[in-house]
Structure 1
Amino acid sequence: MTIRNLLLKSASAFAFFTLAACGGGGTGGGSSSPALNTPAPPLNNGTNFDTAEYRENSALAQMNILTAYDNGYTGNGILVAVIDSGVTEVPELEGQLHSASTNVANLDPNDADDFSGHGTAIAGVIASKRDHNTNNSPINMHGVAFDAQILNINATTSANCPDLDNCSFFHSDLANAYDYAVQHNADIINESLGSNTFPTIGLQQAIQRAVAADKLIVQPAGNIEDTDPAGTGTEIQGSARVAIANWANGQIIVAGSVDSNNVISDFSYRAGEDAKNIYLVAPGEQFTTPDHLTNNSFEYVFTSGTSVSTALISGAAALLMQAFPNLSAAEIADILFTTATDLGVPGVDNVYGRGLVNIEEAFTAQGQLSLAGNGFGETATIGTANTVASQNLIYSGGAFGADISFRDNLSNVMVTDKYDRSYNIDFSNSVYNPQAMIDLDRFMTGAMSTRRHDIIFDEKTNVRMAWQHDDRFNEIDKRYFSNHLDRHRTNTGQLRMAISHSLDNTKSVSFTAGMSLPEMLEDYRPDDYIAPNKHGFNMLLNPAETIGVSYKNNGKTTHEIAIATSEGSIPREISQVPINFQNTMVLNRIEHHFTNNLTASFDFGLLTEKGSVLGAISTGALEIGRGARTGFVGGKFNWNITNKSNIFARVSYGLTKVDGSSTSIIDQISTLKSYSYLVGVKTNGIIRNNDQLSISFSQPLKLHGGKGIISTVSNRDYVNNNYTMSYTAVPLAPRGTERDIELAYTIAEIMGVRAQVNFLYQLNPGHVQSIPNSKNILIRLGSRF
């Protein structure tokens, strides 16, 4: 007999498997039928599981089983009890049968072999071994959980099962089979049998004992026979209705069958109203399984029916159990229910119930995620699989530079989902870097498009306003595109304003908005340079959002106090959830005029940050701190060498105390040390009276001292629910040091044109060692007309 003929003959025969009621024969149901996020720890060593053996049964791909294999989960260590007509240890099941396999109907452990072929097929669907290297059959296959063990519990006798068409089981034997499975610590009980007869009290009690023992049970919905009256199968068959009992605790899954297009099989009983919440579907048509004959030489049969669907779901559950041994049977079932692919009408319905088993989704983290272990931020919730990226991030910047030196230590952070399952998340990709290089666009619209206007109210009070005015292509817009322009469009932006009032001849007070601190204090003009104004702690205030007040006592020694506050948020392209920060600075400046040409000042003050630490904004599990307080000192030096030239220098140094976060894996941050400096020279009248040459050498604000501790889970013992914690000390200072050397030459008003040339050389831009040194030259021409 050829394999093809055997296949066709066996597939036809399997349509008539029956389950008998206790004490007599019966007819009907139960015919045989054919990252997040990566769980932690991953076990796969690079094996390719997408083989011809895997593809032989398309049902595996239909349920997205490959996700489990690729993560190294194959059912190893899971014991599945198969209550059936026996299982013969054919080549595909060699070594897969548990030594305690037995026959509970005649109490003869030596009489456990298959009487009809049904039990072997079901065991093969679950656990046929993966042997593509040694089995050259063109229709070689493997089971869903090919490394699982099968506890073969034969629940019939040769007298009650002379052949496939006449096989019956006593409910008392089935009850003994359930008890036997519990006694031998089976994890899953697969009973691919069924009838329209409701289980006896004794069988119900045995199933209830299995539920109480935390066993997952999978039963078939039932097969509609050709001889059944019209309308049969609108609800699950009678033998499976124990699944809807209150005591079932959601641990009994009823399996229906779909075809390769995920359409309910013609022969499959539907879920019905009562059972729709505990009903799942899996493929159940033309599944390749091993034949049970003792002379089997890798011969196979095609099987169809809800029995196959039942076995597939049992195998899928075994994969979940291996991956997450902490889960109870009820949780395994709940995960399979809630992650199933919805079929039919939207939501749970009377045909497909909860939907098609989807192992890829079942392995994905569900619900709120929490930090695993007992380290820093213990059990803090950090979002869901869909929101974790936007709720846990670092937007680097400020003294930390354009990168985070410890980002590599964030690549393996363990979290748990709502079922307390562990997953590893690579948070190193959640570090976002501001632009490390120069911002030419901002500079291009800087000083050459700045407009200023002073309003003098009286001898004591005046208002100074400045704004950016962009009138490029203005006439073209008006002439040709006026119908398309927003009527509220304006050509002005970055409005800055200061109101100054003299209290007497020596004292004055100012109120400002939109001005940087150097502008408030009438410091040097930063417009001359491409390199942004990055020296000093004032760089941590957002000028566009800054409001401030200052009090100045003039004299040979001037004392000035300034208070400024600003706010901002992470760019929306990084996080759709608003992440805001607010900084407040109190600055005291004592400036002494040694001569008319030489002045020096001493600064000291306090910077308070909320939502950032030295300019780095962070949230959730990666929060460097909820805020920080920085005490700083600084110095300023100006020397007018001649009436056309001057030398200037700035330096600042600060100590920062970080406010710890209760949600972060980063803690025990030491006192941070940061500093910056700037030195330069300006001279006028080099070639013309209205030209200017500027040279500067500077280091932007940089963190140069301080460390923190990062806590992560290096291993989890699921059995004892213990975590092995790892605490790693990490330096927080950036790896590189940016230094900016810039030369700027400006010629004003030559035939109405203003020209400026800037040359900038940057070492380690953004304090990032890996970024090559940068050379930049910019030529600007501007005219007002």
Structure 2
Amino acid sequence: MEMPHSPALSSSLVSIAVCSACAMWAAPAWSDSLADMPRPAAVGTAVTATAIEIERGTSFYLGRIRADAAYARGLSGAGVTIATLDTGISGTHREFMQAGKLLPGLNAVTGGLDVTDRRGHGSHVAGIIAALRDGRGNAGVAHGATLLPIKIFPDSGSGSTLALDIGLRHAIGKAAIINLSIGASGPFDARAMQEAVKSGLLIVAAAGNDGAPTSNWPARFAREAWANNQIIAVGAVDASNRIASFSNRAGDTAAWYLVAPGVGVVSAHRNDQYASMSGTSMAAPMVSGAAALLMQMWPRLRADQVATILLVTATDLGAPGIDPIYGRGLLNIDKALKPVGTLTTTTYNGKTIRVLSGAMQPSAATSAIWSLAASGQLRAVGRDDFQRDFGIDLGRTVTRSTALSLDQVIGGMGRRNEVAERVFGDDMEMAFVRESWTGTGMGAMPAHLQAQAPRDRLAAFSLLARGRDGMQASFALGSFAGQDFGAHGLRLAPDLPLSQVAGLSNPYLSLLPSTTHFAVAREAGGYWVKAGLVAAGTHDPLASSDVHLPGAAWMPQARSGVFEVSRSFDGAALSMSLLQTRERNAYLGSYSSGALSIANRAATHSVQLAGAVLIMPQLALAGQASYGITPGRSGDSLVAGVTTLRTNAFSLALVAADRARRGDRLSLALSQPMRTYAGQLTMDVLSNEQVRDRLVFSMAPTGREVRGELSYQAPLGPLSSMGVSMMLRREPNNIADAALDKLLALRYATRF
């Protein structure tokens, strides 16, 4: 039924009315007009899954406004009171019979306590807000909320702002939200509304059903400065989310205007009946229910904050942005429950940081962090722009180390290396590698780097000078750097270079990519004593000066000081190397920034014992064992610090030459890359709004990588060569549940 507005009674006393069209059905009888609607369960019937499904079908609007996200969190509006200033509520209706659902109300027309709804409009609105979710009839948006019925209309239907003012003042201190599914014939004295706003109430008002270009009063008061963003005007949309023909548009209230379903909405009515009604009166209570869900989740929110959250998280409809028809857009509870703006938290020392900023790339030595991330143990509480707390899985910022891939190898196969060596008498040796790229090889590089990568360059260089007093000095750049130390530096036979076996490399020197080294050595009493400096940084001294890779300023930098003692015997060699490796922007090869930043630098002390023995001509057995200690550091992020970490690495290799043909090289290596076996990481995080937790985790991973490498290279003639490499990694990167990593690569090169 349509209820027309009455003319204004005076400048201070204006008529108000409810305005909606409805068709009613009773239980158990149904009217012909609603025969296709599901029948509600009889009172006392056990609630079944089917009944809940039927109730949900009747309450179609819950899906349209994305309310399920709230129910998945256990929200129902419990503990929040909503005042309905309307035609009253039918207290004997099955949807409101739960104890505590209805508070004692007020009849603002008579001054009495009788709030019985004899017209049905108030019950319909109340049902959309908070009807029980019980498998009968319909379910309210905030089905667990409490209702405060305030009857401001006589049973004839049309009332005045005098009763409205009494009702507004009565709600102060008793409710958190006021629903006004009413419309006035014109502006009126807003002092009672101002008092309600000042008291902290949120007011949700229907925009009106005149098809007008802007909202009616009282919804139109939302644009006033005194409204303090605590009044939301609500329009109605149809099943296609188009503005309903009868709905007043946003107009000059666009910034405070939402839309919600308002056509054919089924809800409670008088005399334990249900009705399908259309109007902005039906859309407004959906917004009131949504506000109650937010208030239950975050009781500290002010009314203006709740309103702003609902407005800024609406689904945009119509013209992009705030527009004069749809205002902010369609109510979206799911989005309203998600963070707005930037999530921040505080560290143990009071520093404010963005929770999901930065990234963490663990190394094999710090792979326990990936396991913690994968198991959901790296959690914290962050706050959005409205200081709402959200549980955050910090594991989202942790990247799992990539497995071996053919792309990595194929990318290098497009590269042609030309090695040249020259000996200057007995005093000096020089070697360099010239690298050129073909189009095929560059295709494996990221597109944004292809244009910047040098097509032809000097890739490596080494110089060895010998003095007559037993002194040696060496200098190297690129891939030659660091090969004078440890197992790589052992010499058994001229044609049996151990430096070509990757598994025999010093793992702590492997923390330094693109290295440069300088070393001096001297023989004394059959021992060689060697000291040197190995360094790596963002600038490659062999690269073109005009090549600048993105993010170079953040790339890791490191240097190692090396002291080594070695001795060669008849067919055998031994060495002991002491290193101090200092990393910047890295921690044992891992890179981190933001909330999970471990440390921006690390200093690791390590020792390597290496040896090799010639089993037979051109066949050697070599191995190394390395141990490191990285002193603990305090952090400046959610990582409060790490204790001293202890790491180790082992490898054993067979190296052969001239096996199948002259000039070939064969190696078989078994190794355990660097792995932490002792140490802890401590996080200090907010676990809720007030409490901080200190979480202590072991940095020893549950897995242990064992790597097998087989490599064979052979010349095929003066202009051609071939190579084959195979690698297997069990529990790669020391991650226990990681699948076996396998790689087989073939390479053929020739000159034309």
Calculate the TM-score normalised by the size of structure 1: 0.78
Change (3 A) 1:98 1:706: same
Give the residue type in structure 2 aligned to 1:267: F
Q: Secondary structure at the match of 1:214?
A: coil
* 1:206 aligned partner: 192
Provide Cα deviations, 1:408-428, integer angstroms capped at 9, x if missing partner.
253543322111222223333
The residue type equivalent to 1:710 in the other structure is: M
For the Cα contact (< 8 Å) 1:33–1:307, is it kept in 2?
no
Distance 2:151 2:440 in 1: 88
Q: Structure 2 counterpart of 1:197, which letter?
A: G
Distance between the aligned counterparts of 2:721 and 2:164, measured in 1? Answer: 97
TM-fit CA distance, 1:97: 4.2
CA RMSD of aligned residues (A): 3.9
The 1:427/1:19 distance shift into structure 2, 3 A limit, reads farther
Question: What is the aligned counterpart of 1:722 among 659, 680, 690?
Answer: 690
Of 163, 187, 204, which residue of structure 2 is paired with 1:218? 204
Match of 1:514 in 2: 478
Alignment partner, residue 244 of structure 1:
223
Q: Pick from 148, 151, 172: which aligns with 2:145? A: 148
Aligned residue for 1:67, secondary structure, equals: helix
**Alpha-carbon distance in 2 for matches of 1:106, 1:440:** 82
Is the 2:461–2:480 Cα contact (8 Å) retained in structure 1?
no
Task: Give the whole-Å Cα distance in 2 for the aligned partners of 1:59 and 1:472.
Answer: 58
1:248 aligned partner, one-letter code: A
Moved more, 445-454 or 252-261: 445-454
Letter in 1 for 2:215: I
Is residue 431–residue 463 contact of structure 2 (8 Å, CA) maintained in 1? yes
- In structure 2, the partner of 1:14 is 2
Q: Is the alpha carbon distance of 1:742 and 1:131 closer, same or farther for their aligned partners in structure 2, counting shifts above 3 Å? A: closer
Residues 403-442 of structure 1 aligned to structure 2 (within 5 Å): 404-407=370-373, 408-410=375-377, 412-437=379-404, 442=409
2:131 corresponds in structure 1 to 128
Inter-CA distance 730–568: structure 2 relative to 1 (3 Å threshold)? farther
Which of 189, 194, 202 pairs up with 2:183? 194
Q: Contact (CA 8 Å) 1:14, 1:304: kept in 2 or not?
A: no
Q: Distance in 1 between matches of 2:295 and 2:605?
A: 55
Q: State whether residues 59 and 283 of structure 1, in contact with CA within 8 Å, keep that contact through their aligned partners in structure 2.
A: yes
- Kept in 1: contact 2:343–2:385 (CA 8 A): yes
2:352 maps to 1:380: yes
Secondary structure at the residue paired with 2:235? strand
Residue from 228, 238, 257 that aligns with 1:259 = 238
Do the aligned partners of residues 457 and 752 (structure 1) sit closer, same or farther apart at CA in structure 2, a change above 3 Å counting? closer
**Equivalent residue of 1:722, what SS?**
coil
Q: 1:584 to 1:94 in 2, by over 3 A?
A: same
Match of 1:344 among 315, 318, 340: 318
Shift of 1:277: 1.6
Matched residues in 2 for 1:126 and 1:489: separation? 63
Q: 1:302 aligns with which of 276, 282, 294?
A: 276
Match 1:396 to one of 362, 369, 379: 362
| Mapping of residues 676-755 of structure 1, within 5 Å | 676-686=649-659, 690-714=663-687, 716=688, 721-723=689-691, 725-742=692-709, 748-749=715-716
Specify the alignment match of 1:37 in structure 2. Answer: none
What code does the residue aligned with 1:546 have? T
Aligned residue in 1 for 2:42: none
Per-residue deviation, 1:79: 0.7
Matches within 5 A, 1:58-137: 58-89=60-91, 90-95=93-98, 97-109=101-113, 111-132=114-135, 135=136
**Counterpart in 2 of 1:31?**
19
SS at match of 1:366: coil
Between the two proteins, what is the percent identity of the paired residues? 25
Aligned residue-pair number: 697
Per the normalisation by structure 2, the TM-score is 0.82
Q: Secondary structure at the match of 1:51?
A: helix
Q: Residue 540 of structure 1 aligns to which amino acid in structure 2?
A: L
- Unpaired runs of 5+ residues, structure 2, are 23-48, 444-449, 491-496, 541-549
How far off its partner does 1:113 sit?
0.7
- For residue 332 of structure 1, report the CA deviation from its aligned partner: 0.3
Note if 1:289 corresponds to 2:278. no
SS of the equivalent of 1:197 reads coil
Change in CA separation of 1:626 and 1:741 when aligned onto 2, cut-off 3 Å = same
Q: Pick closer, same or farther for the CA change 1:756–1:141 going to 2, 3 Å.
A: same
Q: Which amino acid aligns with 2:146?
A: Q
Task: Note if contact 1:370-1:379 (Cα within 8 Å) is conserved in structure 2.
Answer: no
- The answer on whether the counterparts of 2:88 and 2:150 sit within 8 Å (CA) in structure 1 is yes
Q: Relative to structure 1, is the Cα distance of residues 700 and 14 closer, same or farther in structure 2, using a 3 angstrom cutoff?
A: same
8 Å contact 1:535–1:701 — kept in the other structure?
A: no
Please say if residues 398 and 539 of structure 1, whose CA atoms lie closer than 8 Å, have aligned partners that are also in contact. Answer: no
In structure 1, the residue matched to 2:591 is 617
Evaluate the alpha carbon distance shift between residue 551 and residue 210 of structure 1 in structure 2; reply closer, same or farther with a 3 A threshold.
Answer: farther
CA distance in 2, matches of 1:710, 1:368: 21
Aligned-residue offset at 1:62: 2.4
1:319 alignment partner, one of 287, 293, 305: 293
Cα distance change, pair 91–24 in 1 and its aligned pair in 2 (3 A): farther
Deviation track 1:383-422 (CA, whole Å, cap 9, x = no partner) reads 6xxxx3xx34321224235973433253543322111222
| 1:168 corresponds to 2:159 | yes
Which residue of 503, 507, 510 maps to 1:536? 507
Amino acid at match of 1:523: G
Q: Cα gap change, 1:401/1:365 in structure 2, threshold over 3 Å: closer, same or farther?
A: closer
Measure how far apart 1:699 and its partner are: 2.1
- Corresponding residue for residue 45 of structure 2: none
Q: Which residue of 2 aligns with 1:332?
A: 306
Deviation, structure 1 residue 366: 0.9
Q: Please name the residue that 1:572 is paired with.
A: none
Q: 1:64-89 deviations in whole A, cap 9, x for unaligned?
A: 22222222222222110011121112
Q: What CA distance in whole angstroms lies between the structure 2 residues aligned with 1:149 and 1:402?
A: 49
1:504 to 1:344, Cα distance in 2 relative to 1, 3 A: farther
Match of 1:178 among 160, 165, 168: 168
Taking structure 1 as reference, are residues 409 and 263 closer, same or farther at Cα in structure 2, changes over 3 Å only? closer
Measured at CA, do residues 504 and 206 of structure 1 come closer, stay the same or move farther in structure 2, by a change above 3 Å? farther
Q: 1:375 to 1:448 in 2, by over 3 A?
A: closer
1:271: how far off?
2.4
Unaligned regions of 5+ residues in structure 1, if any? 1-12, 35-46, 225-231, 478-485, 570-575
Report the Cα offset of residue 696 of structure 1: 3.5
Match of 1:523 in 2: 489
- Report the counterpart of residue 673 of structure 1 in structure 2: 646
- Equivalent AA in structure 2 for residue 346 of structure 1: P
CA gap of 1:651–1:239, structure 2 versus 1, over 3 A, is closer
Measured against aligned partners, the alpha-carbon deviations of 1:704-745 in whole angstroms (never above 9, x if no partner) come to 11111234555x4xxxx533x443321112222223455556
Cα offset for 1:460? 7.0
The 2-side partners of 1:244 and 1:774 are apart by 63
Which amino acid is 1:75 matched to? Answer: G
Amino acid at match of 1:419: F
State the Cα distance separating 1:449 from its structure 2 match.
5.5
SS of 1:144's equivalent in the other structure is coil
Deviations 1:51-73 (A, max 9, x none): 33223243332222222222222
> How far apart in 2 are the matches of 1:57 and 1:731?
50
Structure 1 residues 114 and 686, CA gap change in structure 2 (3 angstroms)? closer
Cα offset, 1:156, TM superposition: 3.6
Q: Does the Cα contact within 8 Å between 2:705 and 2:734 map onto a contact in 1?
A: yes
**Counterparts of 2:451 and 2:587 in 1: how far apart (Å)?**
41
- Distance, in Å, in 1 between the alignment partners of 2:452 and 2:673 is 39
Q: 1:496 aligns with which of 454, 460, 466?
A: 460
Confirm or deny: 8 A CA contact 1:652 1:677 kept in the other structure. yes
Aligned counterpart in structure 1 of residue 251 of structure 2, from 255, 261, 272: 272
Residue deviations 1:336-359 (CA, integer Å, cap 9, x gap)? 111112222222222222222111
Within 2, Cα distance between the matches of 1:423 and 1:151?
Answer: 31
SS class of match (1:414): strand
**CA apart distance, 1:470:** 6.6
CA-CA distance at 1:290 after TM superposition? 1.8
- Seen in structure 2, the aligned counterparts of structure 1 residues 399 and 253 have a Cα distance that, compared at 3 Å, is same
Which range moved further: 257-266 or 435-444?
Answer: 435-444
Cα distance, 1:440–1:696 mapped onto 2, change above 3 Å: farther
